[in-house]
Amino acid sequence: MRMLKFAAAAFLAVVAGTAAQAHAFLDHAEPRVGSTVPTAPRELALFFTQNLEPAFSSVEVSDASGARVDLGKPTISTSTMRVGLKALPPGTYRVRWQVLSVDTHTTEGSFTFHVKQ
Amino acid sequence: MSNLLIVVRDIHFASSVIVAGIVFFDWLIVAPVLGADLRLTATFSSFRETTQKILWLSLGVSIVSALAWLCLLSTRIAGKPFEQVIADGTIWIVLSRTQFGIAWAARILVAGLLAICLASRQRHKALPADWRGVLSALLAGFYLGLMAFAGHGEEGLGYERDIHLAADFLHLVAAGLWLGGLLPLAILLTYLRMRGEEPWLTAACNAGSRFSTLGILAVSILLISGTINASFLVGGIQSLIDTRYGRLLLLKLALFAVMVSAATINRQYLLPRLCKGDATDRSDPTVRWLVRSTLAELALGLGIILIVGVLGITAPAVEMASHVH
């Protein structure tokens, strides 16, 4: 019983001071989510909270008219996904990503960034 | 689909834990208690016959449910019906190009090696202490522990992921050691009492005491590894109450606490009674109480497995929105 009480106290102490990491969520992106960049980026990089499964992870970047402006298949290394971009004129661009984390859960999301006029 | 996946996961966890539990029990309890004592031949023979049937059945169920898990997960990942996942080769991509698939392929290979090892033991009528017993225990441990690569054990990055995986691996093996060993313990105690071969009481005392000591080791590993896992998957005390994952985890912990309490009663009251020789003949109810208490622990353990099946497909206690920057 003493062991159980000690274990319960240790459990609560550890749990109280932690930040959970669930599945693969977007930690940050380059260009940043919602940011305005002064020059057109040549590449989009997405950084996730967990390692990804390349076979089931993808990203699309499109302009205001919905036309694809990315260069196709992204490269994925552990928790980072990168995709090349065409020469982007000033405007707003939407990024849509869908990834499968190594714990077999699918997550998806989208955001925009702007290239300065 | 999710409900079916939960059922398949539960069946797979339960059958895999029983496989590992029987093999571990054979090596760590039966070998030293019964293996060398020729006076307990009938007991050993009955125990072996019953547990081997359960072992083979559980191994078969475990392999079939592993394949069902792979199929269901492939359909979920691809978002396609089962026939299409098979026809367009998605299932092979999952098996060969994801960590889950590679771990699953390794587990099925280990299950095959375990089956060969067990069959070889049966053919040679080997004693539990035979090298095949040790090899079987190692294979069963890997078969169970490698499941860590198929779920939330993969959470985190870098060294944190490695720590989480190691903790999850040990958590699973410790569950097999304790929870999986309860069924063969109940069977062994029942046969010892039923056959009444001398010295059945000494053997029952030895088996109970050894399992109890093993239980303390397993519970310690479960507590430490469980706390490490929780540190990755629970986002604070409030999340234990506010989220589905947290509430399920609390329920699991409550069942675990009741299991440990039952084991403590066995260790503090029933085992000393048995080992002091208070239970002098087969009509004494001590062994029956011990068997009932062990089966009650097993029922609670199966409740925990049901919860684990749901926890694995439930998002840990954190909101998706909080991660969008």
What is the per-residue pLDDT across B100-144, written as a single tens digit (0 to 9) for each? 999 999 999 999 999 999 998 877 665 655 788 889 999 999 999
Q: What was the pLDDT predicted at B194?
A: 84
**Does a structural domain hold residue A28?**
yes
Helix (H) or strand (E) holding A53: none
**Does a structural domain hold residue A70?**
yes
Instruction: State the average pLDDT for chain B.
Output: 85
Selecting from B99, B237, B324 the residue whose C-beta is nearest the C-beta of A109 gives B324
Chain A residue with CA closest to B99: the answer is A102
CA neighbor of A20 nearest in space, from B147, B238, B6: B238
Residue A88 DSSP one-character state: P
Look up the CATH number of the domain holding residue A64: 2.60.40.1220
Q: Tell me: pLDDT of A84 over 80.
A: yes
Q: What was the pLDDT predicted at B126?
A: 58
Q: What was the pLDDT predicted at B128?
A: 56
Chain B residue with CA closest to A23: the answer is B155
Query: Which residues face A29 on adjacent strands?
Result: A46
Residue B186 DSSP one-character state: H
Chain A residue with CA closest to B223: the answer is A7
pLDDT category at A16 given cuts 50, 70, 90 is: very low
Q: What was the pLDDT predicted at B37?
A: 66
**Does a structural domain hold residue A46?**
yes
**Does a structural domain hold residue A11?**
no
Computed from CA positions of residues B145, B227, A25, B242, in that sequence, does the dihedral angle turn out positive or negative?
Answer: positive
Selecting from B98, B239, B260 the residue whose C-beta is nearest the C-beta of A4 gives B260
CA neighbor of B230 nearest in space, from B249, B215, B243: B249
Q: Tell me: pLDDT of B300 over 70.
A: yes
Among B17-31, B114-128, B292-306, which stretch is predicted with the lowest mean pLDDT? B114-128
Give, in order, the Cα–Cα distances in Å from B174 to each of A38, B11, B24, B31. 56, 18, 10, 19
**Does a structural domain hold residue A61?**
yes
Convert the pLDDT of each residue in A18-61 to its tens digit.
Answer: 444 457 889 999 999 999 999 999 999 999 988 899 999 999 99
Long-range contacts, stretch B292-300, CB < 8 angstroms, 24+ apart: B293/B262, B293/B265, B293/B266, B294/B182, B294/B185, B294/B186, B294/B189, B294/B266, B295/B182, B295/B186, B296/B262, B297/B182, B297/B259, B297/B262, B297/B263, B298/B179, B298/B182, B298/B183, B298/B186, B300/B255, B300/B258, B300/B259, B300/B262
The Cα–Cα gap between A99 and A108 comes to: 6
Long-range contacts, stretch B306-310, CB < 8 angstroms, 24+ apart: B306/B10, B307/B248, B307/B251, B307/B252, B307/B255, B308/B9, B308/B10, B308/B13, B308/B252, B309/B6, B309/B7, B309/B9, B309/B10, B309/B13, B310/B6, B310/B248
What phi, psi does A43 have (nearest 5°)? -150, 145
Q: State both tokens at B96.
A: 């060969």
Largest pairwise CA distance in chain B:
71
Number of A–B residue contacts, CB under 8 Å: 127
Q: Report how many domains make up chain A.
A: 1
Interchain pair A1, B93: CB under 8 A: no
pLDDT category at B321 given cuts 50, 70, 90 is: very low
pLDDT category at A4 given cuts 50, 70, 90 is: low
Instruction: State the average pLDDT for chain A.
Output: 85
Strands (E) in B69-166, as ranges, are none
The residue written with tokens 């960049």 in the block is A37
Interchain pair A103, B153: CB under 8 A: yes
Q: What was the pLDDT predicted at B195?
A: 80
Q: Which residues of B touch A7 (CB under 8 A)?
A: 223, 227
CA distance A92 to chain B (A): 18
Among A27-36, B10-19, B27-36, which stretch is predicted with the lowest mean pLDDT? B27-36
pLDDT category at B31 given cuts 50, 70, 90 is: confident
Interchain pair A100, B77: CB under 8 A: yes
Per-domain boundaries in chain B: 2-323
Interchain pair A15, B100: CB under 8 A: no
Interchain pair A22, B318: CB under 8 A: yes
**Rounded mean pLDDT, B273-283:** 70
Among B51-60, B220-229, B238-247, which stretch is predicted with the lowest mean pLDDT? B238-247
Q: In which domain, by residue range, is A79 found?
A: 24-115
Q: Chain B, 237-266: which have a CB under 8 Å from a chain A CB?
A: 237, 239-240, 253, 257, 260-261, 264
Selecting from B97, B227, B235 the residue whose C-beta is nearest the C-beta of A20 gives B235
Interchain pair B325, A28: CB under 8 A: yes
The residue written with tokens 């399992």 in the block is B211
**Rounded mean pLDDT, B156-182:** 87
Q: What was the pLDDT predicted at B185?
A: 94
Instruction: Report the half-sphere exposure of A13 (CA within 13 A, side-chain side).
Output: 7
**Rounded mean pLDDT, B51-66:** 96
Give, in order, the Cα–Cα distances in Å from B288 to each of B63, B122, B194, B275, B285. 34, 30, 10, 14, 5
Interchain pair B233, A102: CB under 8 A: no
The Cα–Cα gap between B314 and B307 comes to: 10
Give, in order, the Cα–Cα distances in Å from B152 to each of A42, B70, B100, B234, B252. 35, 16, 11, 12, 16
Q: State both tokens at B142.
A: 């890997």
Q: What was the pLDDT predicted at B324?
A: 40
Q: Are B195 and B43 in contact (CB under 8 A)?
A: yes
The Cα–Cα gap between A19 and B205 comes to: 46
Among A42-51, B46-55, B262-271, B296-305, which stretch is predicted with the lowest mean pLDDT? B262-271
Q: Chain A, 34-93: which have a CB under 8 Å from a chain B CB?
A: 49-51, 53-56, 78-79
